[in-house]
Amino acid sequence: MTSNDMEYITIALPKGKLFGLSADLLAKVGYTAEDLSEKSRRLVIVNEEKKIKFIISKTADVPTYVEYGAADIGIIGKDVLMESGMDVYELLDLGFGRCHLMMAVNKQHRREKLTDYAHTRVATKFPHIAEKFFNSKGMQMEYIKLNGSIELGPIVGLSESIVDIVETGTTLRENNLEEIAYIMDATARLICNRVSFKLKFDRINQLTEDLKQLLAAAEEEKQ
Protein backbone atom coordinates (compact mmCIF):
# COMPACT_ATOMS: atom_id res chain seq x y z
CA MET A 1 0.00 0.00 0.00
CA THR A 2 1.58 3.28 -1.15
CA SER A 3 1.45 6.60 0.68
CA ASN A 4 -0.97 7.79 -1.99
CA ASP A 5 -3.26 4.82 -1.29
CA MET A 6 -3.27 5.75 2.38
CA GLU A 7 -4.96 9.05 1.57
CA TYR A 8 -8.00 7.36 0.06
CA ILE A 9 -10.76 5.05 1.17
CA THR A 10 -11.58 2.69 -1.70
CA ILE A 11 -15.06 1.18 -1.71
CA ALA A 12 -16.18 -1.73 -3.90
CA LEU A 13 -19.86 -1.59 -4.87
CA PRO A 14 -21.68 -4.47 -6.59
CA LYS A 15 -23.56 -4.07 -9.83
CA GLY A 16 -27.19 -5.11 -9.74
CA LYS A 17 -29.93 -4.75 -7.16
CA LEU A 18 -27.63 -3.73 -4.29
CA PHE A 19 -25.85 -0.92 -6.14
CA GLY A 20 -28.45 1.83 -5.85
CA LEU A 21 -29.32 0.98 -2.24
CA SER A 22 -25.63 0.94 -1.30
CA ALA A 23 -24.83 4.22 -3.05
CA ASP A 24 -27.86 5.94 -1.48
CA LEU A 25 -26.93 4.75 2.01
CA LEU A 26 -23.32 5.88 1.69
CA ALA A 27 -24.43 9.25 0.33
CA LYS A 28 -26.41 9.87 3.52
CA VAL A 29 -23.17 9.76 5.51
CA GLY A 30 -21.23 11.89 3.04
CA TYR A 31 -19.61 9.22 0.88
CA THR A 32 -20.42 10.42 -2.61
CA ALA A 33 -18.79 11.03 -5.97
CA GLU A 34 -19.92 12.89 -9.04
CA ASP A 35 -21.48 10.63 -11.67
CA LEU A 36 -21.45 7.60 -9.38
CA SER A 37 -23.65 5.31 -11.42
CA GLU A 38 -23.89 1.62 -12.14
CA LYS A 39 -24.10 2.50 -15.82
CA SER A 40 -20.92 4.59 -15.78
CA ARG A 41 -18.30 3.57 -18.33
CA ARG A 42 -15.66 4.41 -15.72
CA LEU A 43 -15.04 1.48 -13.44
CA VAL A 44 -13.25 3.61 -10.82
CA ILE A 45 -14.91 6.87 -9.81
CA VAL A 46 -13.03 9.28 -7.56
CA ASN A 47 -14.02 12.09 -5.22
CA GLU A 48 -10.70 13.94 -4.93
CA GLU A 49 -12.00 16.41 -2.37
CA LYS A 50 -13.10 13.72 0.09
CA LYS A 51 -10.41 11.22 -0.94
CA ILE A 52 -12.87 8.47 -1.82
CA LYS A 53 -12.58 5.96 -4.65
CA PHE A 54 -15.48 3.78 -5.77
CA ILE A 55 -14.91 0.54 -7.66
CA ILE A 56 -17.95 -0.68 -9.60
CA SER A 57 -17.62 -4.44 -9.66
CA LYS A 58 -19.38 -7.60 -10.71
CA THR A 59 -21.19 -8.82 -7.59
CA ALA A 60 -19.18 -12.02 -7.10
CA ASP A 61 -15.88 -10.12 -7.34
CA VAL A 62 -16.49 -7.68 -4.46
CA PRO A 63 -15.14 -9.99 -1.71
CA THR A 64 -12.04 -10.68 -3.83
CA TYR A 65 -11.24 -6.99 -4.29
CA VAL A 66 -11.62 -6.49 -0.54
CA GLU A 67 -9.59 -9.50 0.61
CA TYR A 68 -6.66 -8.64 -1.65
CA GLY A 69 -6.69 -4.95 -0.72
CA ALA A 70 -7.73 -3.50 -4.07
CA ALA A 71 -10.65 -2.09 -2.06
CA ASP A 72 -10.56 -1.18 1.62
CA ILE A 73 -14.24 -1.86 2.16
CA GLY A 74 -17.16 -3.22 0.17
CA ILE A 75 -20.86 -3.92 0.32
CA ILE A 76 -22.06 -7.39 -0.59
CA GLY A 77 -24.83 -9.87 0.17
CA LYS A 78 -24.17 -12.40 2.93
CA ASP A 79 -24.90 -15.19 0.47
CA VAL A 80 -22.15 -14.09 -1.93
CA LEU A 81 -19.77 -13.45 0.96
CA MET A 82 -20.23 -16.94 2.41
CA GLU A 83 -19.94 -18.61 -0.98
CA SER A 84 -16.69 -16.76 -1.72
CA GLY A 85 -14.99 -17.94 1.45
CA MET A 86 -12.86 -14.78 1.41
CA ASP A 87 -11.00 -13.76 4.56
CA VAL A 88 -12.41 -10.31 5.37
CA TYR A 89 -13.89 -8.52 8.35
CA GLU A 90 -17.66 -8.31 8.40
CA LEU A 91 -18.31 -4.92 10.00
CA LEU A 92 -22.05 -4.38 9.78
CA ASP A 93 -25.34 -5.92 8.74
CA LEU A 94 -26.90 -3.18 6.58
CA GLY A 95 -30.32 -4.82 6.62
CA PHE A 96 -31.33 -4.27 2.99
CA GLY A 97 -31.38 -6.70 0.07
CA ARG A 98 -33.09 -9.25 2.29
CA CYS A 99 -33.60 -12.71 0.86
CA HIS A 100 -33.03 -16.30 1.90
CA LEU A 101 -31.36 -19.36 0.47
CA MET A 102 -33.47 -22.46 0.06
CA MET A 103 -33.80 -25.77 -1.71
CA ALA A 104 -36.64 -26.19 -4.20
CA VAL A 105 -37.93 -29.03 -6.35
CA ASN A 106 -40.53 -29.63 -9.03
CA LYS A 107 -43.92 -29.91 -7.30
CA GLN A 108 -44.91 -32.95 -9.36
CA HIS A 109 -41.78 -34.86 -8.36
CA ARG A 110 -41.65 -33.98 -4.68
CA ARG A 111 -40.38 -36.77 -2.44
CA GLU A 112 -41.57 -37.58 1.06
CA LYS A 113 -38.45 -36.62 3.02
CA LEU A 114 -35.49 -34.30 2.44
CA THR A 115 -33.09 -37.20 2.74
CA ASP A 116 -34.88 -38.93 -0.14
CA TYR A 117 -32.96 -36.53 -2.40
CA ALA A 118 -29.57 -37.87 -1.30
CA HIS A 119 -27.26 -38.79 -4.19
CA THR A 120 -29.23 -36.65 -6.66
CA ARG A 121 -28.14 -33.60 -8.64
CA VAL A 122 -28.66 -30.05 -7.38
CA ALA A 123 -28.20 -26.98 -9.60
CA THR A 124 -26.95 -23.86 -7.84
CA LYS A 125 -24.88 -20.67 -7.90
CA PHE A 126 -23.81 -21.55 -4.36
CA PRO A 127 -22.14 -24.99 -4.39
CA HIS A 128 -20.08 -24.34 -1.24
CA ILE A 129 -23.06 -23.20 0.82
CA ALA A 130 -25.16 -26.04 -0.58
CA GLU A 131 -22.51 -28.65 0.19
CA LYS A 132 -22.17 -27.42 3.77
CA PHE A 133 -25.95 -27.58 4.21
CA PHE A 134 -26.35 -31.08 2.78
CA ASN A 135 -23.32 -32.38 4.68
CA SER A 136 -24.99 -31.19 7.88
CA LYS A 137 -27.93 -33.41 6.93
CA GLY A 138 -25.68 -36.38 6.18
CA MET A 139 -26.49 -36.15 2.46
CA GLN A 140 -24.08 -36.63 -0.41
CA MET A 141 -25.12 -34.71 -3.52
CA GLU A 142 -23.85 -33.99 -7.02
CA TYR A 143 -23.45 -30.23 -7.50
CA ILE A 144 -23.94 -28.54 -10.86
CA LYS A 145 -22.70 -24.93 -10.88
CA LEU A 146 -24.89 -22.56 -12.91
CA ASN A 147 -24.61 -18.79 -13.20
CA GLY A 148 -28.12 -17.86 -14.25
CA SER A 149 -31.70 -19.17 -14.53
CA ILE A 150 -31.15 -21.79 -11.86
CA GLU A 151 -34.85 -22.70 -12.10
CA LEU A 152 -34.16 -24.31 -15.46
CA GLY A 153 -32.31 -27.19 -13.79
CA PRO A 154 -35.33 -29.31 -12.82
CA ILE A 155 -37.41 -28.11 -15.79
CA VAL A 156 -35.01 -29.49 -18.41
CA GLY A 157 -33.92 -32.52 -16.40
CA LEU A 158 -30.45 -31.22 -15.54
CA SER A 159 -31.06 -31.65 -11.82
CA GLU A 160 -33.64 -32.94 -9.36
CA SER A 161 -33.45 -29.78 -7.23
CA ILE A 162 -32.01 -26.29 -6.95
CA VAL A 163 -30.40 -24.25 -4.19
CA ASP A 164 -30.92 -20.55 -4.81
CA ILE A 165 -31.92 -17.26 -3.24
CA VAL A 166 -35.57 -16.27 -3.10
CA GLU A 167 -37.25 -12.99 -2.20
CA THR A 168 -40.95 -13.29 -3.03
CA GLY A 169 -41.19 -16.81 -4.44
CA THR A 170 -42.89 -15.60 -7.62
CA THR A 171 -40.29 -17.14 -9.96
CA LEU A 172 -40.58 -20.47 -8.18
CA ARG A 173 -44.36 -20.53 -8.52
CA GLU A 174 -44.25 -19.51 -12.17
CA ASN A 175 -41.94 -22.46 -12.89
CA ASN A 176 -43.91 -25.03 -10.85
CA LEU A 177 -41.19 -25.25 -8.21
CA GLU A 178 -41.75 -25.57 -4.47
CA GLU A 179 -39.44 -24.64 -1.61
CA ILE A 180 -38.82 -27.65 0.63
CA ALA A 181 -35.87 -26.60 2.83
CA TYR A 182 -34.71 -23.33 4.35
CA ILE A 183 -30.92 -22.82 4.42
CA MET A 184 -30.11 -19.28 5.59
CA ASP A 185 -31.15 -15.63 5.54
CA ALA A 186 -29.05 -13.08 3.67
CA THR A 187 -28.80 -9.29 3.77
CA ALA A 188 -26.24 -6.76 2.56
CA ARG A 189 -23.08 -6.55 4.68
CA LEU A 190 -20.31 -3.98 5.03
CA ILE A 191 -16.99 -5.80 4.76
CA CYS A 192 -13.40 -4.64 5.22
CA ASN A 193 -9.88 -5.68 4.29
CA ARG A 194 -8.02 -6.82 7.40
CA VAL A 195 -4.91 -4.69 6.78
CA SER A 196 -6.96 -1.62 5.85
CA PHE A 197 -8.91 -1.98 9.08
CA LYS A 198 -5.69 -1.48 11.03
CA LEU A 199 -4.02 1.13 8.83
CA LYS A 200 -7.15 3.23 8.23
CA PHE A 201 -8.96 2.36 11.44
CA ASP A 202 -10.12 5.85 12.41
CA ARG A 203 -11.79 6.57 9.11
CA ILE A 204 -13.28 3.12 8.63
CA ASN A 205 -14.51 2.99 12.21
CA GLN A 206 -16.12 6.43 11.86
CA LEU A 207 -17.91 5.36 8.69
CA THR A 208 -19.15 2.21 10.40
CA GLU A 209 -20.44 4.16 13.41
CA ASP A 210 -22.14 6.74 11.18
CA LEU A 211 -23.90 3.95 9.29
CA LYS A 212 -24.93 2.26 12.55
CA GLN A 213 -26.52 5.49 13.78
CA LEU A 214 -28.26 6.03 10.45
CA LEU A 215 -29.69 2.51 10.43
CA ALA A 216 -30.76 2.77 14.07
CA ALA A 217 -32.56 6.06 13.39
CA ALA A 218 -34.33 4.53 10.37
CA GLU A 219 -35.43 1.58 12.52
CA GLU A 220 -36.83 3.91 15.18
CA GLU A 221 -38.90 5.74 12.56
CA LYS A 222 -40.55 2.45 11.58
CA GLN A 223 -41.70 1.78 15.13
pLDDT digits (tens, 9 = 90+) for 138-177: 999 999 999 889 999 999 999 999 999 998 889 999 999 9
Q: Is the pLDDT of residue 1 over 90?
A: no
**pLDDT-based confidence at residue 33 (cuts at 50, 70, 90):** very high
Distance of CA 125 to the CA centre of its chain: 12
Question: What is the strand order of the sheet 121-124 is part of?
Answer: 142-145, 121-124, 161-166, 99-106, 177-186
Q: Is the pLDDT of residue 67 over 60?
A: yes
Output the pLDDT for position 154. Answer: 95
Q: Is the pLDDT of residue 18 over 90?
A: yes
Q: What is the DSSP string of 100-167?
A: EEEEEEEGGG--SSGGGGTTSEEEES-HHHHHHHHHHTT---EEEE-SS-TTHHHHTTS-SEEEEEES
Output the pLDDT for position 199. Answer: 96
Output the pLDDT for position 100. Answer: 95
Q: Is the pLDDT of residue 89 over 60?
A: yes
Question: For the chain, which domains are there?
Answer: 9-97+187-222 (3.40.190.10), 99-185 (3.40.190.10)
Query: Which candidate, 117, 78, 115, 84, places its Cα nearest to that of 100?
Result: 78
Question: What is the strand order of the sheet 73-77 is part of?
Answer: 44-47, 52-57, 9-14, 73-77, 188-192, 89-93
Half-sphere exposure of 217 (CA within 13 A, CB side): 9
**pLDDT-based confidence at residue 4 (cuts at 50, 70, 90):** low
Which of 31-40, 117-126, 195-204 comes out lowest in average pLDDT?
A: 31-40
pTM of the model: 0.91
pLDDT digits (tens, 9 = 90+) for 104-147: 999 999 999 999 999 999 999 999 999 999 999 999 999 999 98
Percent of residues, the chain, with pLDDT higher than 70: 98
**pLDDT-based confidence at residue 31 (cuts at 50, 70, 90):** very high
Average pLDDT over the chain, rounded to an integer: 94
Q: Is the pLDDT of residue 6 over 60?
A: yes
Output the pLDDT for position 112. Answer: 94
Percent of the chain as helix, strand, coil, to the nearest 5: 40, 30, 35
